[in-house]
Amino acid sequence: MDDMDQTLGQQLMLNYRRALVVLVHLVLWTASLLLAFLLRFEFSIPDEYFPHLYLWLAGSLAVKLFCFALFGMFAGLWRYTGARDLVALFKSATLATAGFSVFLILGSFRGFPRSLLVIDWLATMMLVGGLRFGIRTLWQLAASVTREEKEGDRRRMLIVGAGNAGEMLLREIQKSYTSKYEAVAFADDDARKFGRQIHGIPVLGPLARIPAICRLKGVQEIVIAIPTASGKEMRQILEHCAPVQVPIRTIPGIDQVIDGRVTMSQIREINIEDLLGREAVTLDQRSIQELLEGRVVMVTGAGGSIGSELCRQLARFKPSQVVLVEQAENALFEIHRELLARFPGVALVPCIADICDLKRMEQIFQRHRPSVVLHAAAHKHVPMMEWNPGEAVKNNVLGTRTLADLSHAHGVDRFVMISTDKAVNPTSVMGATKRLAEIYVQAMSQRSKTRFVAVRFGNVLGSAGSVLPIFRQQIAAGGPVTVTHPEMRRYFMTIPEASQLVLQAGTMGKGGETFVLDMGEPVKIVDLARDLIRLSGLTPDKDIEIHFSGMRPGEKLFEELSTADENADKTLHPKIFIGRLTPRPHDLVLREFEALQAMADTAPAPALIERIRVLVPELSREVAEAGGAEAVAAAPAADVIPLRRPG
């Protein structure tokens, strides 16, 4: 009963408030029409107009009441009046003026001065708009005083970047967060802005002066408001901020700032992806839509880092069904639950299955008839595959063969295999087995209507078991952070970026291509470690030590993305290149694979690796001789060419 009384009371208050708002508008409209008459006739209204004045006023009020209600002018809270309300006021007043003109014509009121319509429109805009924005200003002033009295301890903030994003951030702070933050200055490298003010806050100089500005203004927090900043620019900004021991945060990249708005809720800690920042990926959405919409798509390794992100990306393009193939039950459970919540309109089929299990995979293909297969399942950890070469062969090579054969037999339209830069001039069992998978996929393309392609890229940031999660664990434990070699370099890209480009490459393939993704510039692993330590608020080699542990089995100092034989060349997409190697005869490849299959479970590691070298002669000789037991380091071979970029 109390709840009912409370609800009734709230409804009565709402009705009372709306009635009061309408009454205030009626008073303002009356005043605007009278003011129009007074201004038109220099505050001396001729007697001839008085007989019709009350009728004109009634007609004006009725038309305005209808038009303002039509645009929702009685519903908003005036203390939140903004640009949208001003636009709505303009539309309401303009339509009301037009409606009142029709009223005058239909009523044959020929004596009504036409100039009054313009003056009345202006007076309505000024009176109604002035009252609304005046109440908003008074409310903000009162709220600011109240908040300052209650919470005098506000954090003094320096905004780095005096562009549109910085201005929007300042406006957001001054509007809603004055109790917590006080923006005290801007820093920007644009000399034209030095000494200027934005909403009363000065631009005090270039980024090089950040330490001095912080000391002068007592800055307690820095926010980087440059959503277009590249990784290199972010590093430079952090170097300028390094002497200042205050928290440093940033707003997301321009591709993540929705509708061009910047809000306090979007501000986050700087992460390593910002320092390795790359340009946002531009996709040909239409071609991907044509590839996926209304079709059955199978993703192998659906619970892995790349496989799960592929599922998230492709679900946006409305496939009729997504078949999630994953060996690990928990990983499959997690991605299935996430996709159910995020994409309720997409049919999902979770399948616990091993890609090496021919009967199980045959059953899945027969039941679901996929049109597109995205093959991300693989053993990927280099040292682990050195110690278990037979498992690398079974999963990476023979599992891929099983999927390729089934795709051919069941008329799959497109088969996209995820490969790795470690397949180029491999120095590891893992790299060699992925190269073998590429060879088989390419061989199948010669005899099948299915379009078989491979997509090759380097390391992805934050994937399971990758260097970043390991570094974070070591930093959280107080160190040391272990790096294998001071000159170890790797290519990196984010998981979403890699997955988006895989989908894009899948639309390009005609069959037999190995697509190579532009990975940008290689990064020193030790630099990555130092950046991550700094982002954790600690000092490298002081708070957290860095130890060099020596190279692990099968590792290279440098990874490569293409070789001279592959003729890596441009495609229509600036971040996707294509390499074409002469395909091997399918019958020859099949015989060698059958020999590998016979040896996978029983042969000693050296013999198995020597058999791999028959098909992958570029595999380092040291790997074969060591039998997977020793570390091998190799600089780029003489025939390796850098990835060519557009232009």
Annotated catalytic residues are 422
Q: How far apart are CA 321 and CA 294, in angstroms?
A: 8
Q: Give the burial string for 227-266 (b: 16+ CB within 10 Å, else e).
A: bebbbebbbebbebbeebeeebebbebeeebeeeebeeeb
Burial class (CB in 10 A: 0-12, 13-18, 19+), 562: buried
Virtual CA dihedral for 530, 535, 538, 539, nearest 10 degrees? 40
Q: Tell me the three state secondary structure of residue 284.
A: coil
Nearest CA to 103 among 59, 43, 64?
A: 59
Beta strands in 201-310 (DSSP E): 201-202, 221-224, 248-250, 268-269, 296-300
Interaxial angle between packed helices 399-409 and 358-368, expressed in degrees from 0 to 180 and rounded to the nearest 10:
30
Two structure tokens written together for 23: 């009454």
| Amino acid identity for residue 86 in this structure | L
Residues 534/596, Cβ–Cβ less than 8 Å: no
Query: What is the DSSP code (8-state) at residue 271?
Result: -
Distance of CA 111 to the CA centre of its chain: 63
Q: How far apart are CA 17 and CA 398, in angstroms?
A: 73
Q: How far apart are CA 623 and CA 511, in angstroms?
A: 32
Q: How far apart are CA 424 and CA 560, in angstroms?
A: 6
Instruction: Return the bridge partners of 420, or none.
Output: 457
Phi-psi region of 302 (alpha: psi -120 to 50; beta: other; left: phi over 0): alpha
Q: How far apart are CA 617 and CA 592, in angstroms?
A: 13
SS3 of 335-394: HHHHHHHHCCCCEEEEEECCCCCHHHHHHHHHHHCCCEEEECCCCCCHHHHHHCHHHHHH
Q: How far apart are CA 33 and CA 322, in angstroms?
A: 64
Q: Which CA distances in Å does 601 have to 103, 314, 605? A: 93, 36, 10
Query: What residue has token string 């992460």?
Result: 271
> Would you tell me how many other CB atoms lie within 10 Å of the CB of residue 570?
13
392 half-sphere exposure, CB direction, 13 A CA radius = 24
Two structure tokens written together for 205: 């100089």
Residues 213/219, Cβ–Cβ less than 8 Å: yes
Q: How far apart are CA 516 and CA 365, in angstroms?
A: 28
Two structure tokens written together for 66: 């209808």
